[in-house]
A and B are shown apart, each in its own frame.
Chain A
Amino acid sequence: MTYHADERGYYGEFGGAYIPEMLYPNCEELRQNYLRIMAEPSFQEEFHQLLKDYVGRPTPLYFAKRLSEKYNTKIYLKREDLCHTGAHKVNNTIGQILMAKKLGKNRIIAETGAGQHGVATATVCALMGIKCVVYMGEIDIARQAPNVARMKMLGAEVRPALSGSRTLKDATNEAIRDWINNPVDTHYIIGSVVGPHPYPDMVARFQSVISEEVKSQLQEKEGRENPDYVVACVGGGSNAAGAFYHYLDEPEVGIIAVEAAGKGIHSGESAATSALGKVGIIHGSKTLLMQTADGQITEPYSISAGLDYPGVGPLHAHLYVSGRGEFISITDDEAMKAGLGLCELEGIIPAIESSHALAIFEDRKFKEEDIVVVNLSGRGDKDLQNYIDYFNL
C-alpha cells in the first residue's frame, strides 16, 4: 500500500490526465521523460547545487521554544520562509526550469494567484535567461501590486487573465490555453501539485526535499527521523506534499492538512475543498473540487490568495478520502491571530497561508511529548498590506 502516485498518475481514484487532445503531446512528452531526466546524475547535481547556493537550502528546522511552551507540546518549524523569494515555491521552479532546459524548451509560462509562484518562476527564468510569461487574474493583479512589480523587474511579462472570475483558476485556464497555442517551444511550470499527470507527482518530488531535510534534521536534534505529526497548509497542496512526502508511507507519523475556511465553512465564502468539494475534473485532474450541483466550478474565498483555489491536488484528495490525513479548516480570523502570535512569540512574520497551519494549536491539542513539525511555507512580507488593513497597524 502506498500513498504515492501510480504509473498513470493516480492516487487511489484521483489524478490522471483529463486533457483535450491538444495537450496530449506536451503532457506525454513530459510523462515519458520526467522520471528519467530527474534520475540523471547531471540533473541531480545541478538541482541540489542550486538549492544549496541559490535558494539557501537546507532551510533550518527550528525548535520554537516559546510557541511550544504556550501550547504545551514540542513544535518545530520548517523554515521554508527563509528560501530565496520567500516561500517554498522556488524548490519546484528550480526543478522545472532544469526540466524545461533538458526538454529543449525556450519559453516558459506560469499561472499565479498571490504572485509567489509567479515571482519564483520569473526568478528562475531570469537566472537561466529564458523568456517568461506569467498569467495572473486581473483582480489579483490589482490586489498584489508588489509581486507584479517584482515579476516585471525580473523580466517577466505579466498577462492579465480577463476571463471568468479573473482570479487563480482563470489564470490557470489562460496558461493552459497558451500551452495549447504554443505546443512545441513552451514549457508550462505549474505552481502546485495540481493539473494533469505527471504534474502532481513531479511537483511533489521537487518539493520532497522539505521532508528529506526534516528527516535528517530531526535525527540530529531528537535522535529520531519521524515526528509524531507533520502539519502544513493546503492550497493546491505543494508545500504540504513536500512536507508529507517521505512520511506518507510511515503510518506512525500523523499527517495534518490545513485548509482555508475563509469566513466560515458554511458562510458561502470559503476555500475548504475537502469539506465542500465533490469529485470532479479541474485543470486536467480528477480530484475534489468546489462546484455547483451542475458541475460548474465555483469561486472560493480566503483572505490568503495562495489558498484561494477551488480544488486540491489529487494526492490530498486521496489522503482525505482514505483517512490517511487529518483535515482541519481554519478561518481568516483564526489565521490572522495565529500569524500575529508567531510574530510576538518567535519574532517571525509568517505568510498568511502558513498562519493557517499555525492556527490549529488553539483547538487541536497534542501530548506534551509529541513532536509536531509545522511547515512554515512562506514569509509575510508579501502580506504586509493585508496585516496592516486587518490589524489597523
Chain B
Amino acid sequence: MNRIKQKLQEDKKILSIYFTAGYPQLNDTVKIIQDLEKNGVDLIEIGLPFSDPLADGPTIQESSTIALKNGMHTELLFEQLKDIRETVSIPLIIMGYFNPVFQYGVEAFCQKCQEIGIDGLILPDLPLDVYQEEYEPIFKKYGLINVFLITPQTSEARVRAIDKASDGFIYMVSSASTTGAKSGFGAEQTQYFNRIASMELNNPQIVGFGISNSETFDQATKNTKGAIIGSAFIKHLTQNGVEQIGDFVNQIR
C-alpha cells in the first residue's frame, strides 16, 4: 500500500513539513529529510524549486531563488534522493510547479519518482481537468498519489469533484492567500474548517498555509487530519541552518 494511505490510517494528527530542495545549501536535502523523520514528522513535502512560483509568498520565493542559484535542478534532486529509502520510511511527496515536470516529461518524472520511492505529487498549477484528461493513468501506473488543493472560495460542487478525483488526502488551503502571507486563524477559518468537516468527504483533509507554531497547528487539526508547515520551517532554516531541526519540530507538538 502507498505509504501516504498507510500513514493516514494511523490514529493521530499528521504533521507535514515542506522545505525547498537545495536550500539553504545545495546538498542539505537528505539531512533535512532524515532529521525531520528522526524528530517525529509524519510526512515530508520536498519542494522542487521553480523560477516563478506564483502561489508562493516571499519566504518560499526567496528559498527557491537561492536553491536555483545553488545549482538545484530536477535530475540532481533525483540523484540526491536515489538512496533515500535505505534510511527513511515516512511518506515523501514532491511539490513543485508543473513546467519543470512537463519539461522532464511527465511519464519519465513519474517513473523516476517510483524508482526512488516517492509516494505522491503536489503540482498546484496542474488543474483537475487536465490531470484527469491527460495524466491520471500515468500517475496511477507509477503508484503516485496526486494531491489537489481546495480553498475557502472553492464551491461545494467542486470540493465534491476534487474529493472524487482524490485518492489520499485533500490539501486544504487555510485562507485565500499565497504561502506565508498570513499567520494565525480567525473565526472565518474556523467556520471554513467546520464547513468542510461537515461535508464528510471520502478523503481526509490536511491544512496548509498560515501554520507556524503549536497553537496554529492545534487549531488547524481540531477538525482535520493534519497540518502542513512550510514558510515557518524555511525561516527556521534561514536562521539556524540544518543543525537544529529537532528544536523546530518539537515546539510544534
On A, residues with C-beta under 8 Å from B are 16-22, 24-25, 163-164, 169-170, 173, 176-177, 180-184, 278-284, 291, 293-298
| Cβ-based interface call for B55 (8 A) | yes
A4 vs B98: C-alpha distance in the bound complex, in angstroms? 26
Q: List 13 A-B contacts (CB under 8 A).
A: A18-B125, A20-B125, A21-B149, A22-B124, A22-B149, A25-B151, A163-B58, A173-B54, A177-B57, A181-B176, A278-B103, A291-B99, A294-B103
Known pairs A281-B99, A297-B52; list 6 more (Cβ under 8 Å). Answer: A21-B148, A22-B173, A22-B176, A180-B55, A281-B97, A283-B52
Contacts of B151 in A (CB 8 A): 21-22, 25, 183
Partner of B52, one of A16, A19, A282: A282
Q: How many residues of B contact A (CB 8 A)?
A: 42
Establish whether residues A294 and B154, one from each chain, have CB atoms under 8 Å apart when the complex forms.
Answer: no
A25 vs B149: C-alpha distance in the bound complex, in angstroms? 13
Find the B residue at minimum CB distance from A169: B52
Partner of A295, one of B62, B99, B150, B177: B99
Establish whether residues B98 and A18, one from each chain, have CB atoms under 8 Å apart when the complex forms.
Answer: yes
What is the distance, in angstroms, from B64's C-beta to the closest C-beta of chain A? 9
A66 vs B98: C-alpha distance in the bound complex, in angstroms? 51
Contacts of B58 in A (CB 8 A): 163
Contacts of A296 in B (CB 8 A): 50-51, 68, 73, 100
A19 vs B56: C-alpha distance in the bound complex, in angstroms? 13
Find the B residue at minimum CB distance from A26: B153
Establish whether residues A173 and B52, one from each chain, have CB atoms under 8 Å apart when the complex forms.
Answer: yes
Establish whether residues A180 and B177, one from each chain, have CB atoms under 8 Å apart when the complex forms.
Answer: yes
| Cβ-based interface call for B130 (8 A) | yes
Contacts of B56 in A (CB 8 A): 177
| Cβ-based interface call for B244 (8 A) | no
| Cβ-based interface call for B181 (8 A) | yes
Find the B residue at minimum CB distance from A162: B58
A278 vs B54: C-alpha distance in the bound complex, in angstroms? 20
What is the distance, in angstroms, from A33's C-beta to the closest C-beta of chain B? 15
Find the B residue at minimum CB distance from A281: B99
Establish whether residues A164 and B51, one from each chain, have CB atoms under 8 Å apart when the complex forms.
Answer: yes
Contacts of A22 in B (CB 8 A): 55, 124, 149, 151, 153, 173, 176-178
What is the distance, in angstroms, from B129's C-beta to the closest C-beta of chain A? 8
What is the distance, in angstroms, from B137's C-beta to the closest C-beta of chain A? 19
Establish whether residues B54 and A283, one from each chain, have CB atoms under 8 Å apart when the complex forms.
Answer: yes
A348 vs B242: C-alpha distance in the bound complex, in angstroms? 62
Q: A16-B130, A296-B50 in contact; A177/B102 too (CB < 8 A)?
A: no
Q: List B residues 197-216 near A (Cβ within 8 Å).
A: none
Establish whether residues B158 and A24, one from each chain, have CB atoms under 8 Å apart when the complex forms.
Answer: yes
Contacts of B103 in A (CB 8 A): 278, 280, 291, 293-295
Q: List B residues 100-140 near A (Cβ within 8 Å).
A: 100-104, 124-127, 130
Q: A16-B130, A24-B154 in contact; A280/B55 too (CB < 8 A)?
A: no
| Cβ-based interface call for B65 (8 A) | yes
A140 vs B130: C-alpha distance in the bound complex, in angstroms? 35
Establish whether residues B124 and A21, one from each chain, have CB atoms under 8 Å apart when the complex forms.
Answer: yes
A20 vs B149: C-alpha distance in the bound complex, in angstroms? 8
Contacts of B97 in A (CB 8 A): 281
| Cβ-based interface call for B74 (8 A) | yes
What is the distance, in angstroms, from A164's C-beta to the closest C-beta of chain B? 7
| Cβ-based interface call for B16 (8 A) | no
Partner of B177, one of A19, A181, A281, A283: A181
Contacts of A184 in B (CB 8 A): 153, 176
| Cβ-based interface call for B155 (8 A) | yes
